[in-house]
Structure 1
Amino acid sequence: MRETGRRRPDPSELPRFAPVVDRDTSGGRHRPPRPPRAARARRELDQRLVRVTASISALAVLIVVLLLPPISILDRGSDSAPGGIVARARRLQPVLPSGLEAASALYDLDVPATTAGPATLTVKLSAPAPRATNLLLYSYDGGKWQRLGTAQSVPGGASARGNVAAVPSTIAVLRRVSTTRALGVIVGPGQTPDPAAGKASIVSVEAAYPAPGTTDAGGVIVRPGALAPALRQGGGAVYLGISVTDAEDTQAVDRILADAALTKRHVAAVVTEAKGTGAAGVHLDYGALAPARREAFTAFVQQLASVLTAGGMGLVVSVPTPAGDGTGAYDWVALTSAASALWLNAPSDPSAYYEQVEAALRARAAEGADLERVWLMLDRRSRQRADGKFAALSLRSALTLASALQAIGQGAIAPGAAVSLAGVNIESASGSGGLRWDDRARSVTFEATGGRTVWIENRFSAAFRLDLAVRYVLGGVAVAGAAQDDALPATWETVGSFISNGTVQLELPYGPYLEPRWLASDGVIENFGRGAAVWRAPQQAGTFDVTLIISDGVAFFGQRLSLGVGGGGEPAAPGPTGNR
């Protein structure tokens, strides 16, 4: 095999990556990627001047903070500080919840009756902590600690600030010291989790759906024996997954929520089927419901949670990521109080993922939703957009699409002839530009023929998604498509790091790996570019193979095209060479 031009990475080399070292997790945000060296030098010169001003500003902020009382309250309804509030620090701290430590004293608050509604609280910390993370606001009442929401260290680090739905009678800032997170997995009926996933807290088996029609309205249809393999495998609490998959299922749920009697019947049916299958709990994924059903759905979940809890069973509710300001039929504050956990489904559009998910998490935290009960949903499947619609596909299918190749306008090939080759879906002349890293979607992407765009899910993109769970202190992660499947990416090591350490390593794929590589069994590859090349046929007659190898930065995948020289005939259809 011969290839001319600059050296390309060999699939046999050890994997490489480009580490993301410029991280700033303040406020749940990232710095943008570092600029080129020349631009960075100019920026650093400007930043020296900015740092002087910033240092003076930080000193001023620190002085102001030290002059504040232990508790500062801003009424978010009127943007003014209510008067008459007195804060007294307790000398002794009650026993703290497991995994938490005190970052401030516990303050008793005397709050006037006129102070009502949501507010922003600034609480003095016991010791300055300018870079503190995992800060939480808690109240203590009736011998129990209650989480109010997250808090952020203010400039200077003397205090922490957070939003609450109402001013409590007590307030303290606690810091999470336990870094472990919970793992949930979702498998299909009759499936078991991939052994590489490790031990999951919850194994949801997608085994049931709301009964359609009017005769058995309110009922639940369960696929026979769907939970049995997962129950036999053990290793986690197996939940009965009840989900909607089409318009008929959605209509069935809407009918249930529109009728109090049907809602009551549905609660009873869900509990009966969960007990009958031997499940330890229930996982509801009812998709995009009408916003008008918000109160009805909340009441349904509260009723169901009450019955399940009384029977020693758990309840998980999947919620869609809202595309706008509201949350539609899903009241996060009420649902996090009723259910064991909320599993946040990803937006259908990968290019809008971070914009929508981060906006949702910030808004719900400000409303007082308990984000420790929110788990991020991680889907191992890649995504394709075609004609404005999104569909899931496996990593293998995505790489097969990217590695498709053809000989352009070629009939009989004479010895020594030049043959134009093209990667059908990555050839730059078609405007696709090959495989590349998408900074907005934070994944490898390419544009295929027919106006299609493909976003590839792998360990790089998974790490960036999990970093959201780190920065917003979510309670865990739930992995969809968790059954063993060689067509899906190996992301379990990345997930395991998040579960055991509460952190992930952010990396970018090694740039040269994303460049396509052309190989030939004989002859010479010439003038290769991003997705196109010229093959100079050998001087002797025969059948020869040309191979296009592409990579998402982790796996190498190729397709081979057989070309006849000197004997005429059409080229054979390309075939895969497999993952290397």
Structure 2
Amino acid sequence: MQGATLSGGRGRPSPMRFIVLALIGIAVLTIGILAWFFFGRGSSECSSDYCETSLATIEIPADFEQHSKLFERNPNADPVPDGFDLEVAIPLEVPTTDDRGLSIYGYSTESQIWEPIASIVLNETGELATGRFADPPEYLAVFRRLNEGRQVVAYLNRNDTLHPTAALLATVVHTFDFTPAPDGSLEGQPSPRPATTAVHYPVISASSEIDGSVPNVDNILSTGADRTNHVRQILQRVAAHRLAGIDIAYLDLRADHRTSFTLLISELAEGLHAQGKTLTLTLPAPLKGIDRIDEGAYDWAALGQSADLIKVAPIRDQSTYRLHLPEILEHITAVVDPAKVILTITPYASEKSADGVRSLTLTEAMTVASKLAIRSENMEVGGDIQVVAVNIDRDEGLSGLRWQPETATVAFTYKLNGGRTVWIENMFSAGFKLEFVSVYGLGGLAVEDSSANVFLGNIWTAVEPFVASGQAVLLQPDQDQLLPRWEVTAGNLVGGERGLVTWQTPLEAGSYTVTLTLSDGVERFESRIVLFLESLEDEPVEETP
């Protein structure tokens, strides 16, 4: 074998058989190593399970340091028997005794990502990395992951239950517990610690969506005395509740509060750090102007000096997300240590209209997309009735449900008060957003709502492999998955893929159900309409004179 050695040995047969197989495994391992040294290097034709390759089309992630050559699975290799592992011993290009972050990674051409498949054991000289796995990947190599310390921040509304995957992956949990009062004190009580090993930092939040909270912050920032009083109130509550830290999420502040807010955070950070506590911030993303990045009320450079972490709040408008975010992140990471910067992704869909952008659950968005109506006056047997999904009817000039490459989301447009666009967040869109975390070397990711709410898009299926491998899964749904599917309890259906279907009704009167099934590429949603067919009335008979 060229570049690796193999052996078997998992499963629990009888004790005697286990011993025999173990001896065979040792023999195979020894022979494999000898074959590599004496035959693999000198032969141009590889007959081993894995063979050295130089396939240039496979990109090595920026977050990884390659420590071995790339090996490809021999298509003629025997399959691994059920209950057994394949053991590989991979030569390292530079010997090392430091195994921190070293693993064997496998690459799948289907998912186009590298995934950890085995931990490694170094030999005494640090020249070979040995690992075992049951499912041989197409390609493998030894990598050292350079950024294993990435944060996974989970936001959680009070009294909500943490998503099971969030409970496993989160390093920080923020519960929305406090708001600033007019006198500078805090309203609210800390939530019980969520069932997770993550640290718990409650949030003090103010925004235009929380009645009266922004004016309260305006008052707090109006004088130095009010500012200092607010800091003292926070420190007292942190100490009284024995909190490990706190998050400040004061959004929608006026630009003229920039200096005062910076001083508030500096004073609060000094007090918290003196107690061994942590201060994190949630800030709105700067705005991309014509010729500059506008930070508004938030001095990122100064705030980055004070805070331990800064989370970039979700950007709702997807029409400019991928256009503006690169410049925004370049600006932020130029003035703040990238390891402190956390990009927040959201499970909420966004709807843009002339009135602005609002958030929708996945279920709400798909309910809009699957709204049904009838475009026929006669509801009689033996005729044709048109049933239409009014908000995705492409014959009316609408987009239908489709993948938007420019926004990397599943989206649709519909007519209501001047027209609206809905962008859906799911595992596909989340993967393309997580790519920014890797590209800009950020300190991690945050999820806006990490609850187990089944009506939200499940973006954790994108977060989980990203946390495991450090790479975003960049996939998109097939357009066929996004097409409407129609069913009816009787009769025939004609057309339907463009959003309008013709129902050729049966000859028997009664109630019938037409069902539309729509998918965002992940989940399926049904919308039903019940129609009652009337019998044809007997034609009147003319009397002959």
TM (norm. structure 2) is: 0.68
Greater Cα shift, 177-186 or 307-316: 177-186
Q: What percent identity do the matched residue pairs reach?
A: 31
CA distance in 1, matches of 2:438, 2:240: 37
- Kept in 1: contact 2:285–2:315 (CA 8 A): yes
- Kept in 2: contact 1:180–1:499 (CA 8 A): no
CA distance in 2, matches of 1:439, 1:267: 46
Match among 467, 470, 484 for residue 502 of structure 1: 470
Summarize the alignment of residues 410-429 of structure 1 with structure 2, pairs less than 5 Å apart: 410-411=377-378, 413-429=379-395
- Kept in 1: contact 2:314–2:448 (CA 8 A): no
Letter in 1 for 2:287: A
CA distance in 1, matches of 2:340, 2:297: 18
CA distance in 2, matches of 1:206, 1:489: 21
Summarize the alignment of residues 56-71 of structure 1 with structure 2, pairs less than 5 Å apart: none
CA distance in 2, matches of 1:526, 1:452: 29
After superposition, give the CA deviation of every residue in 1:489-515 in whole Å (9 maximum; x if it has no partner).
Answer: 222131122223211110011110111
Corresponding position of 2:198: 236
Match among 394, 400, 409 for residue 367 of structure 2: 400
Match among 370, 375, 381 for residue 348 of structure 2: 381
CA distance in 1, matches of 2:366, 2:491: 26
Asked if 1:190 corresponds to 2:156, the answer is no
- Kept in 2: contact 1:354–1:441 (CA 8 A): yes
Match among 164, 170, 175 for residue 200 of structure 1: 170
Where 1:509 maps in the other structure, the secondary structure is coil
- Kept in 2: contact 1:421–1:533 (CA 8 A): yes
CA distance in 2, matches of 1:528, 1:191: 40
Corresponding position of 1:560: 528
After superposition, give the CA deviation of every residue in 1:328-370 in whole Å (9 maximum; x if it has no partner).
Answer: 222222222211100001223121112222111112333x321
Corresponding position of 1:355: 323
Asked if 1:447 corresponds to 2:413, the answer is yes
- Kept in 1: contact 2:491–2:504 (CA 8 A): yes
Match among 421, 434, 438 for residue 470 of structure 1: 438
CA distance in 2, matches of 1:447, 1:538: 34
Where 2:212 maps in the other structure, the secondary structure is helix
1:234 positional shift: 4.1
CA-based RMSD of the aligned residues comes to: 2.4
Where 1:253 maps in the other structure, the secondary structure is helix
CA distance in 2, matches of 1:348, 1:232: 27
- Kept in 2: contact 1:346–1:357 (CA 8 A): no
Corresponding position of 1:259: 223
CA distance in 2, matches of 1:22, 1:385: 38
Corresponding position of 2:402: 436
How has the CA–CA distance of structure 1 residues 379 and 555 changed in structure 2, closer, same or farther, with 3 Å as cutoff?
Answer: same
After superposition, give the CA deviation of every residue in 1:293-344 in whole Å (9 maximum; x if it has no partner).
Answer: 2222122111111111121211111111112312122222222221110000
1:407 positional shift: 1.4
Corresponding position of 2:31: none
Summarize the alignment of residues 120-199 of structure 1 with structure 2, pairs less than 5 Å apart: 177-197=146-166, 198-199=168-169
CA distance in 1, matches of 2:385, 2:354: 33
CA distance in 2, matches of 1:441, 1:523: 40
TM (norm. structure 1) is: 0.64
After superposition, give the CA deviation of every residue in 1:28-68 in whole Å (9 maximum; x if it has no partner).
Answer: xxxxxxxxxxxxxxxxxxxxxxxxxxxxxxxxxxxxxxxxx
Corresponding position of 1:76: none
How has the CA–CA distance of structure 1 residues 418 and 561 changed in structure 2, closer, same or farther, with 3 Å as cutoff?
Answer: same
1:523 positional shift: 0.6
Where 2:400 maps in the other structure, the secondary structure is coil
Where 1:409 maps in the other structure, the secondary structure is coil
Corresponding position of 2:498: 530
1:99 positional shift: 7.4
1:211 positional shift: 0.7
How has the CA–CA distance of structure 1 residues 445 and 316 changed in structure 2, closer, same or farther, with 3 Å as cutoff?
Answer: same
CA distance in 2, matches of 1:478, 1:250: 23
- How many pairs does the alignment contain? 395
- Kept in 1: contact 2:386–2:502 (CA 8 A): yes
CA distance in 2, matches of 1:25, 1:294: 38
After superposition, give the CA deviation of every residue in 1:367-407 in whole Å (9 maximum; x if it has no partner).
Answer: x3211100001111111123331111110111111111111
How has the CA–CA distance of structure 1 residues 398 and 264 changed in structure 2, closer, same or farther, with 3 Å as cutoff?
Answer: same
CA distance in 1, matches of 2:497, 2:159: 47
Question: Which has the greater radius of gyration?
Answer: 2
Where 2:455 maps in the other structure, the secondary structure is coil
Corresponding position of 2:239: 275
- Kept in 2: contact 1:179–1:501 (CA 8 A): no
1:254 positional shift: 2.0
Letter in 2 for 1:203: V
CA distance in 1, matches of 2:241, 2:393: 52
What runs of 5+ residues in structure 2 fail to find an aligned partner?
A: 1-56, 63-97, 103-143, 537-545
1:24 positional shift: 11
Asked if 1:220 corresponds to 2:186, the answer is yes
Higher relative contact order (CA 8 A, sep 6+): 1
After superposition, give the CA deviation of every residue in 1:276-309 in whole Å (9 maximum; x if it has no partner).
Answer: 3342211111112222222221221111111111
CA distance in 2, matches of 1:176, 1:335: 29
Corresponding position of 2:507: 539
After superposition, give the CA deviation of every residue in 1:138-181 in whole Å (9 maximum; x if it has no partner).
Answer: xxxxxxxxxxxxxxxxxxxxxxxxxxxxxxxxxxxxx9723442
1:427 positional shift: 0.8
1:544 positional shift: 1.3
Corresponding position of 1:84: none
